[in-house]
Amino acid sequence: MSPQLSITILGCYAAAPGTFKNPTSQVLGIRNHMFLIDCGEGTQVSLRLNKVKFSRIKHIFISHLHGDHFFGLMGVITTFSLLKRTAPLTIYGPKGIKEIILLQLKLSQGFTSYPLHFKELESKSPEVIYEDEVVTVTTIPLKHRVYANGYFFQEKEGDRKLDINKALNLNIDNAYFNKIKQGGDITLEDGTVIDNKDITFDPLPPKSYAYCSDTAYKPEIATQIQGATALYHEATFLESHEHLCKPTGHSTAKQAAQIALDAKVGNLILGHYSTRYRNLELFKEEARTIFEIVHLADDGTVFTF
Ligand SMILES: [Zn+2]
Ligand SMILES: [Zn+2]
């Protein structure tokens, strides 16, 4: 059975790209849905390397307009056109993103082969920006040098699971299976009413993923994302460089762990490391002094929950 939640890290380093250090981008899978979050330089190459089908990306969420989070967007948009994509693509990001992209399109080829939509964000409080039958996406206002949002992806409760053996033993016609999965009781031909709970299992509990990069330590994040299955929180610095957090609008590994602890999340994923550090294990060690379940993002890593 495929996992409900998967996160493929395409890039997780701060600032300029290196040979094996890509700037921020990741792919989130929730059941059959796929979302691209941030789109640093080189994202389309990383998508290829990680065998992510371009056609499955219909929504791209950009946190803020620093280059290490969106310089790959123009490349992705253009390549989709070269591949003659026809399915619509929607970009979510700070106000101004539409102008940046449309100006480049205007001065080059002038159009895309598919409908390109923008949802520009300006609100400083959380707002629901996307919703369908599987998931709700809410902004997480961050504290950075420029206007920035994280994104909170919350899966909706799925259908009940049919106990197929019991259903067959009771000779229930498969025409009723959908009704049963949606919680309906069944009346047999002899008039016996079968309670839904007797022929179904509870659905798996819904999962959720909070993406927070880039941000200085902001306690309100923990309030908003209580109980999330996984939190990706930037950890640009170790505590030894905490004095750099305020001027740059970034966090330490310890501060990321404090958010994870206060939010009672299931898992903390660290990323957006400054390239000054050679040993990523130090981030994990520092975070684990505050919060137990810490994972280190690295390019090409896949997390499933
Ligand atoms: Zn950044
Ligand atoms: Zn930034």
Ligand in closest contact with the CA of 41: 1
User: How far is the C-alpha of 160 from the C-alpha of 102, rounded, in Å?
Assistant: 45
Contact 296, 272 (CB under 8 A): no
Question: What sign has the CA pseudo-torsion 275, 280, 285, 289?
Answer: positive
Look at the block and give the residue holding tokens 């330590």: 217
Q: Which residues are catalytic?
A: 68
Residue 109, pLDDT score = 73
Q: Cα dihedral sign for 63, 67, 72, 77?
A: positive
Q: Check residue 19 and give its pLDDT.
A: 84
Euclidean distance between CA atoms 47 and 120, whole angstroms: 24
Q: How far, in Å, from the CA of 246 to the mean position of ligand 2?
A: 13
- What CATH number matches the domain at 5-158+204-297, 3.30.70.270, 3.80.10.10, 2.60.120.650, 3.60.15.10? 3.60.15.10
The radius of gyration of the chain from alpha carbons, rounded to an integer in Å, stands at: 22
Of all ligands present, the nearest one to the C-alpha of 23 is 1
The two three-digit tokens of residue 84, written as one number: 């003659």
Kindly give the distance from the C-alpha atom of residue 89 to the centroid of ligand 2, in angstroms, as a whole number. Answer: 24
Inter-CA distances, 50 with 8, 9, 183, Å: 8, 9, 38
| Cα–ligand 1 centroid distance for 14 (angstroms) | 5
The verdict on whether omega for the bond into residue 214 sits within 30 degrees of 0, i.e. cis, is: yes
* Residue 204 CB neighbours (<10 A): 12
The CA 69 to ligand 1 mean position distance, Å, reads: 6
> What pLDDT, on the 0 to 100 scale, is given for residue 20?
84
Domain ranges of the chain: 5-158+204-297, 161-201
pTM to 2 decimal places: 0.93
d(CA 277, CA 17): 14
**pLDDT tens for the chain, residues 1 to 305:** 557 899 999 999 998 888 889 999 999 999 989 999 999 999 999 999 999 999 999 999 999 999 999 999 999 999 999 999 999 999 999 999 999 999 999 999 778 999 999 999 999 999 999 999 999 999 999 999 999 999 999 999 988 999 999 999 998 988 999 999 999 999 988 889 999 999 999 998 999 999 999 999 999 999 999 999 999 999 999 999 999 999 999 999 999 999 999 999 999 999 999 999 999 999 999 999 999 999 999 999 999 99
Ligand showing the shortest atom-to-Cα distance for residue 272 = 1
pLDDT at 1: 53
CA of 297 to the centre of ligand 1 (A): 14
Structure tokens at 199: 């022929």
Return d(Cα 195, Cα 214) in angstroms, integer.
50
Instruction: Give ion ligand 2 contacts, CB < 5 A.
Output: 66, 214
Residue 18: its pLDDT value, please?
84
At 270, list the tokens: 């660290």
Measured in Å, residue 208 CA sits from the centre of ligand 1 at 23
Ligand 1 centroid to residue 200 C-alpha, Å: 46
CA of 242 to the centre of ligand 1 (A): 17
Q: Which ligand is nearest to the CA of 235?
A: 1
* Cβ atoms 144, 14 nearer than 8 A: no
Rounded to 5°, the CA angle 60-2-267 comes to 70
Distance CA 13, CA 283 (A): 13
Query: Contact 92/60 with Cβ under 8 angstroms?
Result: yes
CA–centroid distance, 148 to ligand 1, in Å, is 10
Residues less than 5 Å from ion ligand 1, measured at CB? 68, 214
